[in-house]
Structure 1
């Protein structure tokens, strides 16, 4: 990044896994940035000033010069496509890109509507209207089977697929979704955490575990 370019800015919230996804991508790419904490409990993300940056009223929002971009997956695709000259994280070859994309879809689907919702319900005392725990269990069983004989979700090296799926999987125990039965997932999480430039997300208190 040129020295005269304005610093990348990220509107975020320290306990948001979506924000951490963008923060992690910035760090893995070695991009300096400034993060602005948005007060979600006080509804700052629903105020006109913030809605002008993201009509959906959600974090994160990235600002890179004159560019303003919302949605964590979109932000990761933009960052990897713009700043990773090797195109390791977001490949250009169609099949490789498709293999990564299907995990971005999983991150926006069962990961968001399973582990993410269960965690948010506990942390922010939100009611559960469906059965996201069942969604999470199906997802984790699928991931566990998929990781047999492989280190990474999409290709033979870390990609956006692993970045997108990491945070809400790693923090699933905060919602009472334990990972003891998924050794391959736990080994995959450790590999992500060993990547150069990895940064973790603030952990909240874990729930009490039921006695065996």
Structure 2
């Protein structure tokens, strides 16, 4: 498959401290795609204004604008980028083989479920002061991380022996779980996997936030 070249400007609407937005920024960088970052002032309610709702009626970030094409939802954006611009890459980010494709989808579900309501939500409490049920978030994190650890004990990446979109979808909030008081020290295979992702050519990290007291 030949690698496509953007015909117009790529614009990512998001917030740098959002893991959902970071997974898109990370994948854009891994694909070596230039783009413009448009910060969305969530605290000021910019995501509820008509101009933003015209991009995403759900009022959520991230949103990617590719010329006239608008894609919302971080995992959907990853799929779009892989299918449109991932051709010619050495890495098959989104496999066509049915079982491999199902494995990636399985981790997309984990990213939208246990990750989002576990480590990501716990981080919201400490980084943004969000009024959440912290104990419930920790419980979900404690369900997710041992499963990831077991999977990564038998292969180097979550869905395959090579990186896929599953790793991009799970990386950001896992790497920053300690900012929500979720320790990664009990999970050596997860920590080794994070290092493998960070060693990929074109990797860019998400800005770090202060760790909770005692973390």
Which bracket does the TM-score occupy, shorter chain normalised? over 0.9
C-alpha separation between the residues in 2 aligned to 1:111 and 1:170?
Answer: 11
C-alpha separation between the residues in 2 aligned to 1:178 and 1:209?
Answer: 11
**1:132-161: CA deviation from partner (whole Å, max 9, x where unpaired):** 101001100111111113100001100000
**1:164-193: CA deviation from partner (whole Å, max 9, x where unpaired):** 000000000001111010010000000000
Q: 1:84: which partner in 2?
A: 86
**TM-score in terms of structure 2 length:** 0.94
**TM-score in terms of structure 1 length:** 0.95
Q: 1:105: which partner in 2?
A: 109
RMSD over equivalenced CA pairs, Å: 1.3
C-alpha separation between the residues in 1 aligned to 2:36 and 2:165?
Answer: 22
Segments of 5+ residues of structure 2 without an aligned counterpart are none
Segments of 5+ residues of structure 1 without an aligned counterpart are none
Q: 1:200: which partner in 2?
A: 205
Q: 1:154: which partner in 2?
A: 159
**1:109-144: CA deviation from partner (whole Å, max 9, x where unpaired):** 100010011101211111123611010011001111
DSSP 3-state at the match of 2:92 = coil
Whether 1:94 aligns to 2:98 is: yes
C-alpha separation between the residues in 1 aligned to 2:49 and 2:124?
Answer: 21
Q: 1:127: which partner in 2?
A: 131
Whether 1:168 aligns to 2:157 is: no
Q: How many angstroms does 1:2 deviate by? A: 4.1
Runs of 4+ in 1 over 2 A off after TM superposition: none
C-alpha separation between the residues in 2 aligned to 1:186 and 1:131?
Answer: 24
Q: 1:7: which partner in 2?
A: 9
Aligned residues: 209
C-alpha separation between the residues in 1 aligned to 2:132 and 2:174?
Answer: 19
